[in-house]
């Protein structure tokens, strides 16, 4: 018998001083049985960093044709494709061909090795941006996981402050590749 996804709900309040985005979002996430708390919470953080009314969670792990998050235009064109983790170069090349903007938030102990192995291959894609999240930050973020969450994201000067009702975490995404380069 196949394991079912676990449903998580998050009330997310975003104050993004860099983009001038201030909004509350009610998110429902289906966590695939093989997805960790760390990856799921980074998907929420990626949502906050790119928040838009049209941003949606993709099927991600359960469907290779969909990213962790994406934003489509009213005509169905993929405006932004967001991956969380260490996707292979072939998947990212395909995403760069399908979407106007592609963004990766790499994390985990193997993130540096992953970038050294794939970075040169992906350098020619001008619509790709790659960020890395320190393992200490991603693990601290995972500790905020609950079935029903109330999270506040404050984004300022390249730093993301995430807090729930009792704890807070600071994340400083490091840019590995900028769009247009």
Band (pLDDT 50/70/90 cuts) for residue 62 is: low
pLDDT tens string 2-38? 678 899 999 999 999 999 999 999 999 988 888 999 9
Q: Is the pLDDT of residue 63 over 70?
A: no
Q: What is the percentage of the chain residues whose pLDDT exceeds 70?
A: 96
CATH 3.40.190.10 fits 6-177, yes or no: no
Q: Is the pLDDT of residue 114 over 90?
A: yes
Query: How confident is the model over 110-121, as a mean pLDDT?
Result: 94
Calpha distance 145→130 (Å, rounded)? 25
| Alpha carbon 131 to its chain's center | 10
* Residue 63 in tokens: 């469907």
pTM score: 0.93
Q: Is the pLDDT of residue 181 over 60?
A: yes
Calpha distance 45→39 (Å, rounded)? 10
């Amino acid at each position: 018998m196949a394991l079912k996804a676990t449903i998580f709900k998050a009330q997310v309040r975003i104050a993004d001083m860099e983009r001038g985005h201030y909004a509350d979002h009610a998110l429902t996430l289906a966590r695939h049985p093989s997805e960790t708390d760390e990856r799921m919470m980074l998907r929420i953080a990626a949502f906050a960093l790119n928040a838009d009314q049209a941003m949606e969670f993709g099927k991600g792990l359960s469907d290779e044709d969909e990213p962790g998050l994406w934003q489509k235009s009213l005509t169905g064109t993929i405006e932004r494709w967001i991956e969380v983790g260490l996707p292979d170069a072939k998947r990212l090349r395909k995403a760069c061909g399908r979407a106007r903007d592609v963004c990766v938030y790499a994390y985990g102990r193997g993130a540096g090795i992953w970038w050294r192995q794939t970075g040169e291959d992906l350098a020619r894609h001008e619509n790709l941006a790659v960020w890395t999240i320190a393992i200490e930050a991603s693990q601290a973020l995972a500790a905020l996981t609950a079935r029903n969450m109330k999270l506040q994201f404050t984004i300022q000067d390249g730093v993301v402050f995430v807090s729930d009702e009792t704890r807070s975490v600071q994340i400083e995404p490091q840019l590995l590749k900028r769009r247009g380069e």
